[in-house]
Structure 1
Amino acid sequence: MSQKGRLFIVSTPIGNLQDITSRALQVLNEVEAIACEDTRQTVKLLNVFGLKKRLISYFQPREKQKIPLIISILEQGKDIALVSDAGTPGISDPGFPLIKAAIDGGIEVIPVPGPSALTAALSAAGLPTHRVLFIGFPPVKRVGLKNFLQKVAEEEATLVFFLPMRKFKQFIEVAREVFGPREAVLAREITKIHEEFIRGNLDNLASELPEDRLKGEATILIRGK
């Protein structure tokens, strides 16, 4: 029986392309194919570093449809890299179903660590990091969001959320209702030219941000109880 390939979980830059590691570039250069969230984004990244690879589109909500193809390539003894548009695959990005299928199939899964909005935000926010609860993207609708936040209101850990900036004001309003004036940090455009960390509390955080900066995605950190 031939040896199975390996599935590499490769972190890619979240903004600054210089943050890619030499190991990540080596892996991307050596694998048979790259499973990626958006082929257009991955092509741009590969072009910057002069790489050309077969790309397999792998995105939510069609993750499960592509798993048989990817697993079949791995079972032929060929290596595949999994990347997301930015950051670390599987961290509020596509990845878990494929990784689980690979593990269940006896395929070696190898992390290639690197950029992550989660760890970058935590490292510079100035909030306690000895205990952290990563939420990812919270419920979108106001009622669902409030119910969800009430469930984590007693947590002592620093809470970390990913959030589309268009939902920022609603999130802050609901968070203020649930948590009160807790210490909080908004981290946006991390590693990019206009990177900023807005530190304060849930009462004043919204007032610090004008309408023209309510774009893209951000990381919001709230101190635990």
Structure 2
Amino acid sequence: MNGTEASGTPQPSLPEDAPDLTPAFEPDGGQGSGGGRPSKPRPGLHLVATPIGNARDITLRALDTLRGADLVLCEDTRVTSRLMQIHGLHKPLMPYHDHNAAKVRPEVMARLAQGAVIALVSDAGTPLVSDPGYRLVVDAVAAGIPVTTLPGASSVLAALTLAALPTDRFLFAGFLPPKSAARRETLQELAGVRSSLVFLESAQRLDDMLADAAAVLGPRPAAVARELTKLFEEVRRDTLDTLAAHYREAGPPKGEVVVVIGPPLETATPDAADLDTALRAELAHAGPSAAAAKVAAAFGLPRRDVYARALALKEAP
């Protein structure tokens, strides 16, 4: 996953002075143990995680695999070539992104079928998480071609671990819709999920996204992480409404952004009278669907059940 880890997002900035690394080699390219220089990686598709900002955040196994690959598939050859140069690697690169994947994939599959070692990387982070590559993996698995992963940097996990919010259960939901109405509808669908929520977001839309989240989810604790692993890394932690007000006043932050929102606040289970009172108050100025969504989010109840009760109250004399 990227520094926002999404196709078409701004290019990650890698340190100009990042030193070349001298890996501790293993005899089979990181797939076994021992010393000496690595042999060529095994044929197949290798999903290689790359740094999300700091060029040193790449594993020795990833370097071995990139060094031994016959071909490296990447979103933007300029970004990947810079990373390769920093680490002293020189391999053929082929663009593979949302706009050309359907055209390129048959050629890649043919090379894999012939026994090639092909590495797939994203611009930053772990491939396939808000990045192209899923369809290629599906086709490779269906064709019986070996597929392996080389874990590494991920902006999603980096932000989650820094947010100081529950990490035992979380849902990664990618980017929310850019339009407010659709964004609020999606947030309403997620309101009852009893886990931390992780989103990628454009810096330009951040204040609007936080404001919509506050309106739908209430004053939940949240964290905005940006420039992760870089020199100006920042994590701002507060309630959704306070964070929305801050970024509305301060303007869009620089860098790539990950938003982590805490799970529904623990409240006592409302009795039927409390639920009806809240629903009647909302039904006075909203339809059953909108009223149910807001009350369900406030009480942490399933929206379907609250909607059924809202319809019953609306139809009651």
Superimposed CA distance per residue, residues 61-117 of structure 1 (whole angstroms, 9 cap, x where no aligned partner): 322221111111111111100000000000111110111111111111100000000
Is residue 130 from structure 1 mapped to residue 168 from structure 2 by the alignment? yes
Paired position in structure 1 for 2:72: 34
Richer in strand (by share): 1
Q: 1:212 to 1:202 in 2, by over 3 A?
A: closer
Q: CA deviation at 1:56?
A: 1.1
Cα distance between partner residues in 1 of 2:179 and 2:212? 11
Could you list the runs of 5+ residues in structure 1 that have no partner in the other structure?
none
Superimposed CA distance per residue, residues 5-49 of structure 1 (whole angstroms, 9 cap, x where no aligned partner): 310000000001111111110000001000001011001001111
1:156 to 194, 201, 214: 194
Paired position in structure 1 for 2:207: 169
Paired position in structure 2 for 1:222: 261
Give the alignment's Cα RMSD to 1 decimal.
1.3
TM-score of the superposition, structure 1-length normalised? 0.95
Contact 2:50 2:123 in 1 (8 A): yes
Cα distance between partner residues in 1 of 2:48 and 2:57? 13
Paired position in structure 1 for 2:269: none
Paired position in structure 2 for 1:64: 102
1:43 to 76, 81, 85: 81
Superimposed CA distance per residue, residues 131-183 of structure 1 (whole angstroms, 9 cap, x where no aligned partner): 11110111111111111111001110100001111110110111111011110
Cα distance between partner residues in 1 of 2:208 and 2:252? 15
Cα distance between partner residues in 2 of 1:162 and 1:42? 22
2:183 to 139, 145, 155: 145
Paired position in structure 1 for 2:225: 187
**SS, match of residue 19 in structure 1:** coil
Amino acid at match of 1:53: K
Q: Highest Rg: 1 or 2? A: 2
Cα distance between partner residues in 2 of 1:211 and 1:80? 45
Paired position in structure 2 for 1:94: 132
Paired position in structure 1 for 2:149: 111
Paired position in structure 1 for 2:238: 200
Contact 2:208 2:244 in 1 (8 A): no
Cα distance between partner residues in 2 of 1:166 and 1:215? 9
Paired position in structure 2 for 1:9: 47
Could you list the runs of 5+ residues in structure 2 that have no partner in the other structure?
1-41, 265-317
Cα distance between partner residues in 2 of 1:134 and 1:121? 11
Paired position in structure 1 for 2:216: 178
Contact 2:46 2:150 in 1 (8 A): yes
Cα distance between partner residues in 1 of 2:55 and 2:64? 15
Identity over the aligned pairs, expressed in percent? 42
Q: CA deviation at 1:212?
A: 5.8
Cα distance between partner residues in 2 of 1:18 and 1:53? 19
Contact 1:39 1:57 in 2 (8 A): yes
Moved over 2 A (4+): 206-217
**SS, match of residue 204 in structure 1:** helix
**SS, match of residue 15 in structure 1:** coil
Cα distance between partner residues in 1 of 2:96 and 2:132? 7
Aligned length: 222
Is residue 75 from structure 1 mapped to residue 113 from structure 2 by the alignment? yes
